[in-house]
Amino acid sequence: MNRRGRKSENMKKSFVKMIAVTLISIFSLLGYAFAQGGELRFCLRTEPKTFDPLKVEDDASGAVRYLTGGVLVRVNRQTQNLEPELAQSWKVSKDGRQISFHVRSGISFSDGTPFTAEDVAYTVQQLMDPALHSPTGDAFRSGTGSVETKVISPTQISIRFPAQVAGLDRLFDQVAILSERSPKKEMAVLGPFMVADYKPGSTLLLKRNPNYWKTDEQGRKLPYLDSIRLDIQPNRDVEILRFKRGELDLINSLDSEYFDKLTATSPQLVHDAGPSLDSEQLWFNEVAKSPIPTYKKNWFRSANFRRAISEAINREDLSRVVFHGHAQPAVGPFSPANKFWFNSRLKPQTYSPDAALKTLQADGFRMENGSLKDKDGNEVVFSIITNAGNKTRERMAVLIQDDLQKIGIHVNVVTLDFPSLIERMTQSFDYEAILLGLTNVDLDPNGEMNVWLSSSENHQWNPSQKAPETSWEAEIDRLMRAQASSSDMKKRKEAFDQVQEIVVDQEPFIFLINKNALSAVSTEVHGAAPVILSPQTFWNAERLTVSAK
Amino acid sequence: MSLSRKLAYAVLALVLCASGAANWLAPAGYARQYREATDAAPSRMHWLGTDEIGRDRFARVLYGTRISLLLAPAAALLSTLLAAFIGGLAGYLGGAWARVAMAVTDLFLSLPWLFLLITARALMPLNVSPVISVLVTFLLLGLLGWTTAARVLCTTAGSLRASDFVRQATAAGVPRQRLFWIHVVPNLRPVLYAQFWISIPVFILSEANLGILGLGVAEPLPSWGSLLKELEGLVSVGEEPWKFVPLILLVVVVTSFQFLLSRQEEVAA
């Protein structure tokens, strides 16, 4: 063969190779895009207390409910909008007491039992049964009397509550539908996954629900994953090490310290979704019958005193030093992450020890030899309690201790075990100030009725008041009830905006920071889009895929 | 004196001197927060870097050593005196006295002290200054740490009671009280010394354990316990070896005490 012939043959070979490589690439890309199967692995920090979706009150059980339960409507964790799921459409009556659902037909539970509107009626009756004590059902209990369910047809149902339930449709995001007829009871599910194996203290294995009704835009059945393995691992250090070794695919919630460590070595794995709904706050004991000295009660019940403390705390430093910048100074009761309900007129508190001292002087406080004294000559000393073992809160308390020392206030930081702290907070009221956090899972302010109503047991700074002890608390009561009894979202928003303004002005809670939603996701996981709402990383679990291991 | 003992004395003397001169060696103090330099690596300004809220780790080690190293011997002295009184007297009196005292000691040993300490902390007044809190912590350790030493002393005093010189003194008509103070207690002294030296590292470690649990010494006061808490984050340990300094110091000090202890045990024998 001459040189020209050899060259031509080489060219042919190269062309064939090029075609082959291109085809392989295309097929592998297609294979990646349509990858199905595989197992997603991550950790639950505690044992799930129940598999009954109506009895869920802990995070681990909540995660299992989210992955296995089928709901009528779902709050899209990314857009925060309500979207249809098992219900094709729904309608809330003008008085906010009744909701009608038109549910999908031709759907079956994981064990093959058909799903009808009868199952929705059964679930609601179970949910509202006082004997069950369902924490999910508590949100629907707005008045005395029974709930009426009326099945109009196998696909239509109306539910009437004894009193108006504000934000009624969104509450169904948490209600996983049970089967009335299935012998498997709560283990028959309508969600994308079902419980396949459970080894207490070790592992929970969820497998794809073969009867799951959803398909993707191309008509392929969801979920893409074959299974999800949930290891029960309370130790966060071990969780991080296992993630780094590739034994886990994601970490749903990361501390800022670990986030930075992972960022240093593997920045492609970590995600900061921005401020979450969670807040950290400080409050003073304003309970009249508490066993603390009267002069201290007078300090704590003074709005000027609380405002001064708020002005003297450097929130930027709390965010930067304690949370490594993965937190935002809090503005008020609701985080800016709550797109609809946050009052955008509120401005962040400015750090100013000088302004704080001026505010205190208005109440008769004065500085003497570097110590602040009240008008009767009592030195301003108080303790801040927080729960032992929570490193971030302990650090926050030490920073606040240092900040307040600058205006002559001496703070004693006390860390207590959680039961002792709760006992002092709710039973003996033997405390001066508490630093704790509030985990918000509900976007609607109705989820916090038990915090803001002065008659509530969870009105932490002064709970269970027979009648509001201050005019501003009376106003908050009125506004919270007004927003809860209206189905007009604009009016509700206006009322809750006023509540936020009163809280920021009176500072019964001194809101400090809103933590960012931090998570880590392996590069093997495709389709993940971490968000601020729980569950941050696996909210779209049915559309996640995992590369073959 | 062996070389190891000389070295132990030298190490302890150096550590004591350094902690005593903390005000001079680290004039900024243990509580000052350098918020612009948090979790910093060692530098000319911060020899052992800074902690997570920007406090100078070298200053905190010096002040923490002062606290742990001064109060642990005080607590050890208290527990040894209690052990001498309860164990020594019970062993000397013997019979029902010894049985009752040892039953009480066994009861003390079997109590879940960790939970009791957590409860005790929860019951304490909240507005206690850090200095008072550290004193209370070591007082509690001293009041609770006598049991093991009491058992040893009870046995030793029991054997002394049966010894020839005590029998001879009893036969000669020496009153029991005089016999106890003049003849028995001096013979218990070597055991008491040994128990005292054993207790010091035990209390240092106990305080460190309490500190890790969030009990004990209150912020911003440092102690070895609070300094060791920094080692909780396993992920960071390999990357920041200077955080090991408090642990190394604890090991060195406890080891030095052990060398001194072996000397005391020889004396006791």
- B126/A320 CB distance under 8 A: no
DSSP category for residue A114: B
> In the block, which residue shows the tokens 């009660």?
A297
Which of A395, A397, A416 faces B52 most closely, judged by CB atoms? A395
Is residue B236 very low, low, confident or very high in pLDDT (cuts 50, 70, 90)? low
> In the block, which residue shows the tokens 């009756």?
A125
Alpha-carbon gap, residue A195 to A205, rounded angstroms: 6
Q: What is the mean pLDDT of residues B233-249?
A: 77
DSSP states of A215-274 as a string?
A: B-TTSPBSP--SEEEEEE---HHHHHHHHHTTS-SEESS--HHHHHHHHHH-GGGEEEEE
- A383/B235 CB distance under 8 A: no
For B147-187, write each residue's pLDDT tens digit: 989 999 999 999 998 899 989 999 999 998 888 888 888 88
Nearest chain B CA: its distance from A357 CA (Å): 22
Q: What is the mean pLDDT of residues B193-216?
A: 78
* A residues 230-249 closer than 8 Å to B (CB): 237, 240-241
% of chain B with per-residue pLDDT over 70: 92
Coil vs helix vs strand at A30: helix
- A237/B33 CB distance under 8 A: no
- B218/A240 CB distance under 8 A: no
Nearest chain B CA: its distance from A445 CA (Å): 34
Alpha-carbon gap, residue A84 to A326, rounded angstroms: 34
Measured from the Cβ of residue A208, the count of other Cβ atoms closer than 10 Å reads 22
Q: Which residues on chain A are in Cβ contact (under 8 Å) with B215?
A: 388, 415
Which of B52, B122, B126 faces A432 most closely, judged by CB atoms? B126
Nearest to B9 by CA among B267, B266, B256: B256
Strands A433-438 and A381-387, sheet pairing: parallel
**Residue pairs spanning A and B at CB distance below 8 A:** 79
- B118/A420 CB distance under 8 A: yes
User: Does the structure show a pLDDT above 90 at B2?
Assistant: no
Report the pLDDT value the prediction gives residue A4, as an integer from 0 to 100.
52
Q: Which residue of B has its CA nearest to A243?
A: B235
Alpha-carbon gap, residue B49 to B4, rounded angstroms: 31
| Token pair recorded at residue A163 | 């009193």
For B85-96, write each residue's pLDDT tens digit: 999 889 988 889
DSSP category for residue A324: T
Q: What are phi and psi of B246, to 5 degrees?
A: -60, -35
Check: CB of residue A163 under 8 Å from CB of residue A145: yes
> In the block, which residue shows the tokens 């609070």?
B226
Alpha-carbon gap, residue A375 to B42, rounded angstroms: 46
Degrees to nearest 5, angle at CA A147 with A144 and A152: 160
Report the pLDDT value the prediction gives residue A1, as an integer from 0 to 100.
44
Q: What are phi and psi of A219, to 5 degrees?
A: 85, 5
Q: Tens place of pLDDT for every residue, chain A, 549 residues?
A: 455 555 556 555 555 555 555 554 444 444 444 567 899 999 998 899 999 999 998 889 999 999 999 999 999 999 989 999 999 999 999 888 999 999 999 999 999 999 999 999 999 999 999 898 888 888 888 777 889 999 999 999 999 999 888 788 989 999 999 999 999 989 999 999 999 999 999 999 999 999 999 999 999 999 999 999 999 998 888 898 899 999 999 999 898 888 988 898 889 999 999 999 999 999 999 999 999 999 999 999 999 999 999 999 999 999 999 999 999 999 999 999 998 999 999 998 999 999 999 999 999 999 999 999 999 999 999 999 998 878 899 999 999 999 999 999 999 999 888 888 889 999 999 999 999 998 777 788 987 888 899 998 889 999 999 999 999 999 999 999 888 878 788 999 999 999 999 999 999 999 999 999 999 999 999 999 999 998 999 999 999 999 876
Alpha-carbon gap, residue B207 to B215, rounded angstroms: 9
Instruction: Tell me which of B35, B126, B234, B239 to substitute to probe the interface with A (most A C-beta atoms closer than 10 Å).
Output: B126
Measured from the Cβ of residue B70, the count of other Cβ atoms closer than 10 Å reads 13
Report the pLDDT value the prediction gives residue A24, as an integer from 0 to 100.
47
Cis-peptide into B220, omega within 30 deg: yes
Q: Which residues on chain A are in Cβ contact (under 8 Å) with B136?
A: none
Q: Which residue of B has its CA nearest to A259?
A: B235
Report the pLDDT value the prediction gives residue A14, as an integer from 0 to 100.
57
Residues of B with CB under 8 A from a CB of A: 31, 33, 35, 38, 52-54, 118-119, 121-122, 126-130, 213-215, 218-220, 232-236
Alpha-carbon gap, residue A434 to A425, rounded angstroms: 8
Report the pLDDT value the prediction gives residue A329, as an integer from 0 to 100.
96
Q: What are phi and psi of A290, to 5 degrees?
A: -70, 150
More confident residue, B4 or A523: A523
Q: Which residues on chain A are in Cβ contact (under 8 Å) with B237?
A: none
More confident residue, B3 or A34: B3
Check: CB of residue A299 under 8 Å from CB of residue A380: yes
Nearest chain A CA: its distance from B38 CA (Å): 7
Identify the helix (H) or strand (E) that includes residue A283.
strand A270-284
Q: Which residue of B has its CA nearest to A421?
A: B122
Q: Which residues on chain A are in Cβ contact (under 8 Å) with B52?
A: 257, 321-322, 395
Q: Strand pairing partners for A87?
A: A103
Identify the helix (H) or strand (E) that includes residue B9.
helix B3-20
| Token pair recorded at residue A231 | 């290891």
Degrees to nearest 5, angle at CA B258 with B255 and B261: 160
Nearest chain A CA: its distance from B266 CA (Å): 43
Instruction: Tell me which of B127, B136, B221 to substitute to probe the interface with A (most A C-beta atoms closer than 10 Å).
Output: B127
Its ipTM equals: 0.82
Nearest chain A CA: its distance from B268 CA (Å): 43
Nearest chain A CA: its distance from B37 CA (Å): 9
Identify the helix (H) or strand (E) that includes residue A171.
helix A168-171
Strand locations in A378-490, DSSP E? 381-387, 410-416, 433-438
CB distance from A263 to chain B under 8 Å? Answer: no
Alpha-carbon gap, residue A19 to A39, rounded angstroms: 33
CB distance from A415 to chain B under 8 Å? Answer: yes
- B219/A394 CB distance under 8 A: yes
Identify the helix (H) or strand (E) that includes residue A421.
helix A418-423
CB distance from A397 to chain B under 8 Å? Answer: yes
Alpha-carbon gap, residue B121 to B208, rounded angstroms: 16
The 3-class secondary structure across A462-515, one letter per residue, is CCCCCCCCCHHHHHHHHHHHHHHCCCCHHHHHHHHHHHHHHHHHHCCEEEEEEE
Report the pLDDT value the prediction gives residue A31, as an integer from 0 to 100.
45
Report the pLDDT value the prediction gives residue B260, as an integer from 0 to 100.
79
Nearest chain A CA: its distance from B230 CA (Å): 10
Which of A385, A391, A399 faces B126 most closely, judged by CB atoms? A385
Q: Which residues on chain A are in Cβ contact (under 8 Å) with B128?
A: 412
Which of A258, A381, A389 faces B214 most closely, judged by CB atoms? A389
- A382/B127 CB distance under 8 A: yes
